[in-house]
Amino acid sequence: MVTFKEIIQIAVIHVYFFVFYFSAYFIYWYTVKGLTFGSLWVKTVLITYLIYLLIDYFVYHSALDGNGSILLRSKRFVGITRDYFPVEIRKTAEIPPNRNYILAHFPHGILTLAISINMLLEITPFLRLFPGIRPKVATLNINFCTPFVREFLRYLGYIPSSKDSLLYFLNKSNDPKHTDNADGFTSYMLGISVGGTQEALLTEPGKYTIVLKKRMGFVKLAIQTGSPIVPSFGFGDVDIYTPLDKAWFRPIQMFYKKYFRYAPIIFKGRGNTILPYKKKVTLVVGSPIDVKRTTNPDPAYVEEIHTKVVAAVRDLFETYKREYIENSEETELVIT
At 254 the pLDDT is: 85
- In terms of phi and psi (left: phi > 0; alpha: psi -120 to 50; beta: otherwise), the region of 175 is beta
CA 215 – CA 263 distance, rounded (Å): 18
CB 171 within 8 A of CB 54: no
CA 134 – CA 66 distance, rounded (Å): 7
Contacts of residue 64, Cβ cutoff 8 Å, sequence gap at least 6: 154, 155, 159
- Model confidence pLDDT, tens digit, residues 216-248: 999 999 999 999 999 999 999 999 999 888 888
Beta strands in 48-132 (DSSP E): 87-91, 101-106
CB 138 within 8 A of CB 165: yes
CA 276 – CA 296 distance, rounded (Å): 44
At 33 the pLDDT is: 95
- Model confidence pLDDT, tens digit, residues 299-321: 999 999 999 999 999 999 999 99
At 181 the pLDDT is: 96
Whether the predicted pLDDT of 185 surpasses 80? yes
CB 218 within 8 A of CB 231: no
Q: Long-range pairs for 147-152 at CB < 8 Å and ≥24 separation? A: 147/27, 147/28, 147/31, 147/46, 147/49, 147/50, 147/53, 148/27, 149/19, 149/23, 149/24, 149/27, 150/53, 150/62, 152/19
Contacts of residue 41, Cβ cutoff 8 Å, sequence gap at least 6: none
CA dihedral 316, 317, 321, 322 (to 10 degrees): -60
Q: Exposure of 301 by Cβ count < 10 A (0-12 exposed, 13-18 middle, 19+ buried)? A: middle
At 104 the pLDDT is: 98
Nearest to 122 by CA among 205, 9, 19: 9
CA 212 – CA 305 distance, rounded (Å): 13
CA angle 200, 76, 282 (to 5 degrees): 35
Higher-scoring residue by pLDDT: 68, 212: 212
CA 111 – CA 117 distance, rounded (Å): 10
Report DSSP state, residue 274: S
**Is residue 335 very low, low, confident or very high in pLDDT (cuts 50, 70, 90)?**
very high
At 303 the pLDDT is: 97
CA 293 – CA 51 distance, rounded (Å): 37
At 135 the pLDDT is: 97
Which runs of consecutive H residues, i.e. helices, occur in the chain?
4-17, 23-37, 40-58, 113-116, 124-129, 149-156, 163-170, 196-200, 217-225, 250-260, 299-324
User: For the chain, first and last CA: distance in Å?
Assistant: 43
CA angle 93, 218, 56 (to 5 degrees): 105
**Is residue 1 very low, low, confident or very high in pLDDT (cuts 50, 70, 90)?**
low
At 324 the pLDDT is: 96
Report DSSP state, residue 188: E
For the beta carbon of residue 152, count every other beta carbon within 10 angstroms.
18
**Is residue 11 very low, low, confident or very high in pLDDT (cuts 50, 70, 90)?**
confident
Nearest to 166 by CA among 212, 103, 105, 216: 103
CA 166 – CA 139 distance, rounded (Å): 11
Phi, psi dihedral angles at 190 (to 5 degrees) = -100, 115
Q: At what angle do helices 23-37 and 40-58 cross, to 10 degrees?
A: 130
- Model confidence pLDDT, tens digit, residues 241-300: 998 888 888 888 888 888 777 788 888 888 888 889 999 999 999 999 999 999 999 999
- Model confidence pLDDT, tens digit, residues 126-184: 999 999 999 999 999 988 999 999 999 999 999 999 999 999 999 999 999 999 999 99
Phi, psi dihedral angles at 232 (to 5 degrees) = -145, 155
- Model confidence pLDDT, tens digit, residues 41-86: 999 999 999 999 999 999 999 999 999 888 889 988 888 899 999 9
Largest CA distance in the chain: 66
Percent of the chain at pLDDT > 90 equals 75
